[in-house]
Amino acid sequence: MSIALENGRRQYDYWLTVYKRTWKGTLISSFLLPMLYLAAMGIGLGSFVDSNGTDALGGVSYLQFIAPGLLASTALQIAVGESTYPVLSGLKWQKFYHSMIATPLRPADVVYGQLTFIAFRVATTCVVFLGIIALFGGLHSALGVLALPVVVLVGMAAAAPVVAFASSLENDSGLAMVFRFGVVPAFLFSGAFFPVSQLPNWIEWLAYLSPLWHGVQLSRDLSLDTVHPWLVLLNIAYLLAWFLVGTKLAVRGFTRKLIS
């Protein structure tokens, strides 16, 4: 345990320095764009949706319906963004992971440090976004604040396998596929903007396979105070499975690239 804590401390200064130097460059993607999505979809489009009735949404406003989904989607997009080009850069271009391995750090420690930093990025972004949602009246219930740890778990469920995938690449051509065939479809068919039950059956079942759908569903249930304990356990177990399997594969990939 003491060795793990010491290895974690060794990376703390590095990631803190990185963030101090780069945080201004994340303001638009991390804070401004999600807020614009919330205003445009929740308030702008939402006014038209609400004027035609909200029975299909469970009797809540469209803003309150999509706000938890936008929060979870933002977590996933931040996590994937930090898991793609930055990771490949550390392995192939800047090679700062190789410098870490020159210390007593193991590949597993490097992966854990990278994932911890991603969790920090997701959490800080979502704290601010959750506050904005509350100010806009997007939380139907006080339980909605519990969506914060949920969306952090969503981010990590996406980040771990993407880090593993990035560690297997020799160039950045494969990263575009992550966004084109992973992030965009997940964002559109996660139930963030409309119930997935309105989709064709075969697409509906594909949506259930996405970790983002489970995060959106759980965040919305908390926000609307419609929590079902068995479904909470299912959602959390599914997200944890993605994270744990992805982390194992990421450690294997980093070990192969940095040691073998």
* Domain range annotation of the chain: 2-258
Residue 139 in tokens: 């939380």
Residues 98 and 82: their CA atoms lie apart, in Å, by 18
Q: Which candidate, 57, 258, 254, 250, places its Cα nearest to that of 157?
A: 250
Q: Is 32 helix (H, G, I), strand (E, B) or coil?
A: helix
Whether the per-residue pLDDT at 7 is higher than 80: the answer is no
Give residue-wise pLDDT tens across range 111-147: 999 999 999 999 999 998 898 888 888 888 888 899 9
**Exposure string (b/e) for 1-12, b if CB count within 10 Å is 16 or more?**
eeeeeebeeebe
Whether the per-residue pLDDT at 6 is higher than 70: the answer is no
| φ, ψ at 133 (rounded to 5°) | -60, -45
Give residue-wise pLDDT tens across range 170-208: 889 889 899 988 898 888 888 888 888 888 887 888 888
> Can you spell out the DSSP letters for 91-127?
IIIS-HHHHHHTTT--HHHHHHHHHHHHHHHHHHHHH
Residue 150 in tokens: 């949920």
Residues 189 and 187: their CA atoms lie apart, in Å, by 6
Q: Is 45 helix (H, G, I), strand (E, B) or coil?
A: helix
Helices (H), 62-200: 62-83, 85-88, 96-101, 107-135, 147-167, 175-178, 184-188
Residues 110 and 253: beta-carbon distance below 8 Å: no
Whether the per-residue pLDDT at 32 is higher than 90: the answer is no
Which amino acid is located at 235 in the chain? Answer: N
Average pLDDT (145-156) is 94
Residues 64 and 57: their CA atoms lie apart, in Å, by 9
Give residue-wise pLDDT tens across range 221-239: 998 888 889 999 999 999 9
Residues 218 and 233: their CA atoms lie apart, in Å, by 10
What is the pTM assigned to this prediction? 0.90
| CB-based contacts of 64, cutoff 8 Å, min separation 6 | 137, 138, 139, 140, 223, 224
3-state percent helix, strand, coil for the chain, nearest multiple of 5:
85, 0, 15
Going 134 to 140 to 143 to 149, the CA torsion angle's sign is negative
Going 207 to 212 to 217 to 218, the CA torsion angle's sign is positive
